[in-house]
Amino acid sequence: MILLLLAQLAVTNDSVYSSAALRALVAHAAVENHAPPTTLRGYRAHVESELSLILRDTLGRERAGQIEQLASSAEWTRGNAYDMHVIGYRTQGLGSPISTLSFVRGWTEPTLYSERMRLGIDVSGRAAPPTSNRDTVVAVHPFASDRDRYYKYSGGDTITVLRTANRSIAIVRIRVAPQLPDSTRLAAFDGEIDVDADRHQIVRMRGRFVVLSRRAPNMPLVARLAGLTGVAYVEFVNTEVGGKYWLPAIQRTELQSTMAVMGHTRAIMRIMSTFSGYDVTDASGALAVDESRRLVRHTTWAPSDTVSRFADWRSSVGEATASVTANDFDDLAPDAWKSTGGVRIDLVPTNIDNVVRFDRIEGLFTGYQADVQMRSVVPGLSFGAHGGWAWSEQTIRGGAHVSLKQKEWILGARAERMLATTNDFIRPFDPQTGGLAAIVGSIDDFDYVDRRVALLSATRIVGSVENAIVTAQLGVGGDRAEVARLTHGWIGTGAFRPNRGVQSGNYTLGIIDAEWHPGISGDFVQPGVGARIHHEVGRGSLEWQRTELSISALHYWGSVAVLLQGDGGTVSGSSIPPQKLFELGGSGVLPGYAYKEFAGDRAALFRGFGSYSLPIWKEPHRFRNSFFIPGVSPALAVGIQGGWTQLSGDAARVAVYGLGGGAPLSHATDGVRATLGLGMTFFSGSIHAGVARPIDRSAPWRFTIGGGPAF
């Protein structure tokens, strides 16, 4: 060991290290992390992993669309094999036909002692041939013997002291930056490493994996045209086991990506794994092990009934996903995502509708958006504009905005002419225009108003964007009636309905929005309780006051899942604009009734769902090669959904007539309209089959089958 240390010090290039002390520290760390300690023969451990698919909006709010949990028994034998034996599996999702396991080749590393690191493991249950690099990214370990060729080092300061029952552990942080030579096909680590200052073993690694930039022009044409940006982040935290070895405690891998055509919305695949219950095998003396051999990795599954009946979960579904956010890696983000640096011009839409959309009012709309981020030049300042042409309407629409973000405050201003929808209780990430359905099937379940606004805004982030957000807006606006200019879409049969009537006029406008736990909406699978309140006041030739309240609660108790969701609102005024009434029916808002059959100045919409997942057929199935589809996951389910509207005065009744230009297209519900459903769901609620009937009146049970959990 001493000879190896001296040899490394002798060949060190001083330009690689920021100081001589750091050079010596890294050399010690390279010796200690080249291979596991000679007395460590292997271990067994319990590993619980959570794999989730997440959408992150422009403000940083995260919403999970699919979560899969795996419980595994891990066995690592030094110089031989790393076996992950899955003994438990469960999932919650929004109906994706593909399991996350189709994309993940592995989700844990057995130790951080090595010369090379691999991001990607064969999940087929068969070991890949030793010469195969299929689906595997091989990275040079920052403490490898040939590290000087690939890295530069800085830092080396003590950042904290950990105290255990037996000793105090000084933790030293080293900053590692890659410098990949043109000839390499290897990846490298870019980030920070915390080292035990006494034993020089790794306590924590946090950073990202990078590959040689010259390979970027060789990426697929589709990725280049789509403006794809993707980053693989990792955070590996070790724990001291037996007072001798630093072994995995928590491992996090996060694949984040954006695509220009999808705007600033970021797609995230988050993988969180927790190790516990270590049973370490010690050797009495040094082992004769060939450390250069490639570790053979297997992932196998227990019998289906064992996997389905597993109940010894250490954490509830979604707990690990919600414990962290994508913002944790902001300091390591690519330039396109950073808030620091030089002035940056982005041609990426904040909303895809700003670039292309289709509806019966405008026909095809095509546009363009440009934004300027001042970043370090004027921290927090950004501004931009978007605009386009509605080809059937022969009209220009667009706007401009400016914002200044300072710590927990965001100040802004915008002016815009938009085609706004008058639909109510639209969910996050739901479409707000006809889109593909309008093109193909002449289905445009929206009504529109030509709206012009100029608003000042102030947003206060309370704690974090995942905790609470409050926004106030003040300005002026104006509404103008619109008519359907198309009778049908481009493809298929069917006809568009007329656009509903609105009252034209101008107004000053004040708006207050408050969100509590905005990532929890009931339409995604993240458990918890969330709420949103919206209040607006208009004064001028159009006058009204309108308040909306939304509450969502989702919780999992083992195999039991319960969802409660409610929306309500009220609008008042001596002369209520028709476009401010609440309308329910069809289009996912009180399904089973005609499109906007009900309207009122008072409204409520509620949904409740409960399910019990049966302990059978939960295991995902291999379809072809490494392509997995979710398990059947049958569940007993009960659901109730309903709505209520009221026309409380003359102003509301007159406004209803305005929706049809003098003919009442909608009416009050005359009590609560509700439907009860009983039956089963499959594929974690993707499909339902059972019976349903109205409970607000006498009616027979009817068989129902369809997508989603709602009967």
Structural contact between residues 352 and 262, judged by C-beta atoms closer than 8 angstroms: yes
Strands (E), 214-303: 228-241, 245-259, 266-282, 296-301
Helix (H) or strand (E) run with residue 118 in it: strand 116-119
pLDDT digits (tens, 9 = 90+) for 625-684: 667 888 888 999 999 999 999 999 999 999 999 998 777 889 999 999 999 999 999 988
pLDDT digits (tens, 9 = 90+) for 581-602: 999 998 678 877 889 999 999 9
Instruction: Quote the percentage of the chain above a pLDDT of 90.
Output: 59
**DSSP string of 411-432?**
EEEEEEEEEEE--SSPPTT--S
pLDDT average, residue stretch 258-263: 71
Residues 6+ apart with CB under 8 A from 301: 85, 86, 125, 307, 619
Q: What is the pLDDT of residue 125?
A: 37
Tell me how far apart the alpha carbons of residues 350 and 59 are, in angstroms, rounded to a whole number.
Answer: 11
Of 383 and 260, the one with more pLDDT = 383
Residue 687 clears pLDDT 50, i.e. is over it: yes
pLDDT digits (tens, 9 = 90+) for 446-477: 999 999 999 999 999 999 888 999 999 999 99
Q: What is the pLDDT of residue 507?
A: 98
Residue 353 has φ and ψ, to the nearest 5°, of -65, -20
Q: What is the pLDDT of residue 6?
A: 40
Tell me how far apart the alpha carbons of residues 705 and 18 are, in angstroms, rounded to a whole number.
Answer: 66
Structural contact between residues 579 and 507, judged by C-beta atoms closer than 8 angstroms: no
| Domain definitions of the chain by residue range | 2-283+291-310, 341-522
Q: What is the pLDDT of residue 122?
A: 40
The band of 286, judged by pLDDT with boundaries at 50, 70 and 90, is low
Structural contact between residues 416 and 475, judged by C-beta atoms closer than 8 angstroms: no
Residues in a beta bridge with 63: 55
The band of 7, judged by pLDDT with boundaries at 50, 70 and 90, is very low
Beta strand 187-196 pairing with 137-140: parallel
Summary mean pLDDT of the chain:
87
Q: What is the pLDDT of residue 107?
A: 84
Q: How many C-beta neighbours within 10 Å does residue 671 have?
A: 11
**Among 136-140, 490-494, 523-527, the least confident range:** 136-140
pLDDT average, residue stretch 562-579: 95
Which of 471-500 are b and which e, b meaning 16 or more Cβ less than 10 Å from the residue's Cβ?
bebebebbbebbebbbeebeeeeeebeebb
pLDDT digits (tens, 9 = 90+) for 608-630: 999 999 999 888 887 766 678 88
Q: What is the pLDDT of residue 118?
A: 73
Residue 138 clears pLDDT 60, i.e. is over it: yes
Q: What is the pLDDT of residue 339?
A: 87
- Mean pLDDT is highest, among 59-63, 337-341, 548-552, for 548-552
Residue 132 clears pLDDT 50, i.e. is over it: no
Structural contact between residues 273 and 49, judged by C-beta atoms closer than 8 angstroms: yes
Residue 133 clears pLDDT 60, i.e. is over it: no
Residue 545 clears pLDDT 60, i.e. is over it: yes
pTM listed for this prediction: 0.86
Residue 216 clears pLDDT 60, i.e. is over it: no
Instruction: Quote the percentage of the chain above a pLDDT of 70.
Output: 90
Tell me how far apart the alpha carbons of residues 568 and 589 are, in angstroms, rounded to a whole number.
Answer: 12
**Among 278-292, 432-446, 485-499, 638-652, the least confident range:** 278-292
pLDDT digits (tens, 9 = 90+) for 163-194: 877 788 899 999 999 988 877 778 889 999 99
pLDDT digits (tens, 9 = 90+) for 303-333: 988 999 999 999 999 999 999 999 999 999 8
Distances (CA, A) of 637 to 230, 263, 308, 678: 39, 37, 18, 6
**Among 155-159, 348-352, 559-563, the least confident range:** 348-352
pLDDT average, residue stretch 400-407: 95
Q: What is the pLDDT of residue 1?
A: 41
Residue 217 clears pLDDT 50, i.e. is over it: no
The band of 347, judged by pLDDT with boundaries at 50, 70 and 90, is confident
Q: What is the pLDDT of residue 625?
A: 66
Q: What is the pLDDT of residue 285?
A: 61
Q: What is the pLDDT of residue 467?
A: 93
pLDDT digits (tens, 9 = 90+) for 548-568: 999 999 999 988 999 999 999
The band of 13, judged by pLDDT with boundaries at 50, 70 and 90, is very low
Of the candidates 161, 87, 399, 120, the residue with the CA atom closest to the CA atom of residue 255: 120
